[in-house]
Amino acid sequence: MNNNASNTSLPEVFSPDFLLGNIGAPFMIGLAVGYFAKKMLRTALFLGGAAVVLLFAGEYYGVVQITDAELQNVATTATHVAKSSGDFLVQRLSGITSKGVTGAAGFFTGFKLG
């Protein structure tokens, strides 16, 4: 009789409600956030590259003066901001479920797909 009691709790772990609520939904949320983050990163890099090209053209025509140190400082700052925002998203997604694995896995999957 004790064997049947342990078997009744086992199917609850594999029930659709448990799987969808604890694994499926956080994974899909992470997937959507990761996909969006990758697209926004690509857009930001495109706009940043366009700004640098415009600055180079302005420097060529004598409108602005840019030093290599200033350009490297801006690139370092932008890299730090992108890393901290990525870390924030992963940390926030990890808090959706008790284990936090499915949200983060969904984020990295979505980031790769994006």
The single-letter DSSP state of residue 66 is -
Task: Going residue by residue through the chain, which has 114 residues, state the pLDDT in tens, using 9 for 90 and above.
Answer: 455 444 455 556 555 555 555 667 888 888 898 899 899 989 989 999 999 999 999 999 999 998 999 989 988 998 898 888 888 888 887 777 656 678 888 888 888 887
pLDDT tens digits for 25-44?
A: 888 888 898 899 899 989 98
The single-letter DSSP state of residue 99 is S
Q: Could you tell me the residue ranges of all domains in the chain?
A: 2-113
Nearest to 28 by CA among 93, 98, 99, 112: 93
State the Cα–Cα distance between residues 103 and 34, nearest whole angstrom.
10
pTM of full prediction above 0.85: no
